[in-house]
């Protein structure tokens, strides 16, 4: 190894290696902290400049919104002949009368009383008449005039009071339209006509396809038919969020709404009187004896197989696909057999989920709902 390599090998840090190999590097490394400090200051300055730029953009947007709000009540009327009188009051009276005629012609809903108006710019002999800025009573009056200005022979004589930014953007749009037109791009009226033509064609095709589909619904089965009918129903079945109880008080809690429905449905339920059951003839004798009913696993399995897998579960919340695929046929057969032998039905078998469906009338009245289980 050379003396230089031996010296480098004995150094423990990069700084010592650099100092050993390069005489000028030591002075340069001493400048690194100053350079890092200057870089940090420049970074902060850039950050402040960006914040300042964002603040200027925000301030400009706020000023623009304030200016547009200020001008919302104004309209500009052009080509109104100026009075030749030397008296300011007579000239102002002339302008008011001319503006009143124009505004009345456009809309009779807008009153011209107590409106402020003044000419824009300085008077110059031989120059076209200066536009008149009219300050309406409200923004709605200005909108009413602008919407109905087509009643005039020259609707362009009335315009909104636009800000400098709005005028600049409109000029940009006009220049862009002119450039596109000069480059051979079709005008908006031609494009719109082509769009309407294609849209009408698409509408006719959609109606034809829908009619064909509706004619085939009955052949596709009841599931498809009722699914399509449900999609076309605008009023969805849902439990109301508020209801009026028997005392006339409004209830909003889900539990209270359910109790109001339960009370009403139980009151209107008619129980058949057991006393009016027809008496059996004592001389009547059965010729055949009914055999005991046996609930076997195969019978339960066959009954489950016929169940519609799309049926909603009952209060036990067990869906049909669980009954079909979980192999509980033997347990169900055992429960059914014990229930039949003892003459007792399980409590859940005698319950159902009831959904109140709105019929008509006041939606706060539970009498205007029918129970569907």
280 part of a folded domain = no
What is the average per-residue pLDDT within 2-9?
A: 46
Q: Tell me the pTM.
A: 0.38
Distance, CA of 58 to CA of 65 (rounded, Å): 11
pLDDT higher for 8 or 356? 356
- Assess whether 103 and 128 both reside in one domain: yes
**Do 172 and 252 belong to one domain?**
no
Q: CA dihedral defined by 196, 201, 205, 210, rounded to 10 degrees?
A: 30
Q: Same structural domain for residues 19 and 52?
A: yes
For residues 351 and 315, is the Cβ–Cβ distance under 8 A? yes
Residue finishing a domain among 46, 68, 90: 68
> Which CATH number do you get for residue 90?
3.30.70.1820
Q: Count of domains in the chain?
A: 4
Segment 135-149 mean pLDDT:
90
Confidence of residue 7 (pLDDT cuts 50, 70, 90): very low
Compare 39 and 135 and report the one with higher pLDDT. 135
Q: Whole domain around residue 218: which residue ranges?
A: 188-234
Average pLDDT for 120-147? 89
For residue 223, tell me if it sits in a domain. Answer: yes
Determine what percent of the chain is predicted with pLDDT higher than 90: 5
Confidence of residue 131 (pLDDT cuts 50, 70, 90): very high
Say how far apart CA 144 and CA 138 lie, in whole Å: 10
Are the CB atoms for 97 and 77 separated by under 8 Å? no
How far apart (Å, rounded) are the C-alpha atoms in residues 321 and 315?
16
Residue 283 lies in a domain: no
CA atoms within 13 A on the CB side of 23: 0
- Residue 132 within any structural domain of the chain: yes
Q: How far is CA 147 from each of CA 73, 229, 285, rounded to the nearest angstrom?
A: 14, 43, 92
Same domain, 91 and 143: yes
| CA-closest candidate to residue 157, choices 77, 86, 83 | 77
Does residue 282 belong to any structural domain of this protein? Answer: no
CB within 8 Å of 193: residues ≥ 6 apart: none
- Tens of pLDDT, residue by residue over 255-304, are 888 888 888 888 877 777 767 777 777 777 767 777 788 888 888 888 88
Quick one: 91 and 212 in the same domain? no
Q: How far apart are CA 265 and CA 366, in angstroms?
A: 9
Same domain, 255 and 358: yes
Give the integer Cα–Cα distance in Å for 123 and 7: 93
80 and 154 in a single domain? The answer is yes
Is 260 in contact with 239 (CB distance < 8 Å)? no
Q: ∠ at Cα 185 (184, 190), nearest 5°?
A: 120
Structure tokens at 14: 């990069």
- Residue 286 included in any domain: no
Contact 320, 358 (CB under 8 A): no
- Is 140 part of a structural domain of the chain? yes
Please tell me whether residues 173 and 214 are part of one structural domain: no
For residue 144, give the nearest of 104, 190, 110 by alpha carbon.
Answer: 110
To the nearest 5 percent, what fractions of the chain are helix, strand and coil?
Answer: 60, 5, 35
Q: Are residues 216 and 335 in the same domain?
A: no
The confidence score (pLDDT) of residue 10 equals 47
Distance CA 357, CA 235 (A): 10
What are the pLDDT digits (tens) for 171-205?
A: 888 888 788 778 776 666 677 778 788 888 888 88
User: Comparing 346 with 45, which gets the higher pLDDT?
Assistant: 346
Whether residue 341 is contained in a domain is answered as: yes
Same domain, 258 and 362: yes
Rounded-to-integer distance, Cα 259 and Cα 249, Å: 13
Amino acid 132: pLDDT:
92
| Coil/strand/helix, residue 103 | helix
> Rounded distance, CA 359 to CA 365, Å?
11
Which of 157, 182, 207 is a domain's end point? Answer: 182
Q: Is the pLDDT of residue 74 over 90?
A: yes
Predicted pLDDT at 282: 74
Task: Say what the pLDDT of residue 11 is.
Answer: 45
Query: Within this chain, do residues 252 and 365 fall inside the same structural domain, yes or no?
Result: yes
Please say which residue of 50, 68, 86 terminates a domain. Answer: 68
252 and 352 belong to one structural domain: yes
């Amino acid at each position: 190894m050379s003396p230089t390599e031996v010296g480098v090998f004995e150094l423990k840090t990069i700084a010592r290696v650099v100092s050993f190999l390069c005489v000028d590097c030591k002075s340069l490394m001493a400048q690194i902290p100053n350079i890092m400090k200057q870089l940090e200051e420049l970074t902060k300055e850039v950050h402040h400049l960006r914040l300042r730029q964002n603040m200027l953009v925000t301030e400009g947007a706020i000023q623009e919104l304030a200016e547009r709000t200020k001008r919302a009540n104004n309209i500009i009327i052009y080509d109104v002949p100026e009075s030749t009188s030397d008296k300011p009051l007579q000239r102002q009276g002339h302008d008011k009368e001319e503006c009143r005629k124009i505004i009345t012609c456009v809309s009779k809903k807008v009153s011209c009383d107590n409106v402020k108006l003044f000419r824009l710019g300085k008077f110059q002999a031989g120059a076209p008449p200066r536009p008149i800025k009219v300050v309406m009573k409200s923004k709605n009056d200005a909108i009413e005039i602008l919407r109905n200005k087509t009643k005039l022979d020259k609707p362009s004589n009335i315009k909104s009071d636009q800000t400098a930014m709005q005028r600049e953007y409109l000029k940009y749009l006009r220049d862009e339209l002119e450039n596109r037109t000069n480059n051979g791009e079709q005008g908006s009226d031609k494009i719109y006509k082509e769009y309407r033509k294609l849209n009408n064609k698409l509408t006719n095709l959609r109606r034809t396809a829908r009619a064909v589909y509706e004619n085939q619904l009955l052949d596709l089965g009841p599931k498809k038919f009722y699914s399509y009918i449900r999609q076309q129903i605008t009023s969805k079945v849902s439990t109301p969020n508020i209801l009026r109880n028997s005392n006339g008080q409004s209830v909003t809690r889900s539990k209270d709404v359910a109790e109001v429905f339960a009370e009403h449905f139980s009151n209107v339920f008619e129980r058949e009187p057991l006393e009016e059951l027809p008496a059996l003839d004592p001389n009547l004798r059965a010729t055949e004896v009914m055999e005991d009913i046996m609930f076997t696993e195969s019978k339960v399995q066959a009954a489950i197989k016929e169940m519609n897998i799309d049926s909603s579960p009952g209060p036990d919340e067990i869906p049909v696909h669980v009954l079909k695929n979980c192999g509980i046929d033997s347990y169900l057969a055992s429960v059914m057999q014990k229930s039949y032998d003892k003459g007792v039905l399980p409590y859940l078998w005698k319950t159902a989920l009831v959904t109140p469906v709105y019929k008509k009338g006041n939606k706060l009245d539970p009498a205007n709902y029918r129970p569907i289980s």
